[in-house]
């Protein structure tokens, strides 16, 4: 299976149908696309905001459109949308990013109701700062004291991609068969402070 550019929004449903014709109906799907933008609202450019919303939100909408097609999903299937803790608590300079991630939570709740008759569960995960390329970039331009202060906002320290993947595996599994329309916070205690 070849890589696909999720910014090609209108082509996503057809691409997903092609994938499922090759591999069969999907039991689960994780939308983990994300683009970060840190900028005070007075400096946000419309083109930047549109690109971020296309990557973070609109690609999820179109993936869900594709996944809900007949023969694209198995009965009793599950979708996980990777949101962010900033969609729940907000963060200065990240208004567009926060809005896109909060919108994923609303999307999951609405689709959980809409797709329940088809036995498709839809949930979100809201991680805090995870050791990824985005965090590495942040470390490059933050002064060391600010970076250390950011890590201290996580009582259990920064997370790892595996922490988020384990939560997604749980939500897709049969162990979560009665969970839909919710957001699982995976933040190392960030929101507890």
- Enzyme catalytic residues: 97
Displacement of CA 48 from its chain's centroid (Å): 19
The label of the residue with tokens 């803790």 reads 85
Are 187 and 89 in contact, with CB atoms under 8 Å apart?
no
Q: How far is the C-alpha of 167 from the C-alpha of 165, rounded, in Å? A: 5
Q: How far is the C-alpha of 66 from the C-alpha of 94, rounded, in Å? A: 29
Give burial (CB, 10 Å; 0-12/13-18/19+) of 10. Answer: exposed
Task: Return the structure tokens found at 56.
Answer: 């973070």
Q: Which residues pair with 121 in a beta bridge?
A: 78
The label of the residue with tokens 């890589």 reads 3
């Amino acid at each position: 299976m070849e890589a696909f550019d999720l910014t090609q929004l209108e082509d996503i449903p057809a691409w997903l149908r092609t994938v499922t014709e090759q591999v069969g109906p999907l039991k689960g799907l994780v939308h983990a696309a994300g683009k970060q933008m840190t900028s005070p609202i007075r400096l946000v450019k419309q083109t930047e905001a549109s690109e971020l919303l296309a990557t973070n939100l609109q690609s999820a909408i179109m993936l869900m459109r594709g996944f809900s097609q007949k023969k694209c999903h198995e009965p009793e299937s599950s979708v996980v949308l990777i949101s962010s803790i900033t969609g729940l608590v907000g963060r200065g300079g990240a208004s567009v990013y926060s809005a896109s991630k909060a919108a994923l939570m609303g999307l999951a709740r609405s689709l959980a109701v809409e797709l329940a008759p088809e036995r498709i569960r839809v949930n979100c995960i809201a991680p805090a700062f995870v050791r990824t390329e985005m965090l590495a970039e942040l470390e490059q331009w933050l002064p060391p004291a600010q970076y250390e202060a950011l890590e201290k906002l996580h009582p259990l320290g920064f997370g790892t991609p595996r922490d988020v993947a384990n939560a997604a595996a749980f939500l897709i599994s049969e162990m979560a068969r009665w969970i839909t329309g919710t957001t699982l916070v995976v933040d190392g205690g960030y929101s507890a402070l």
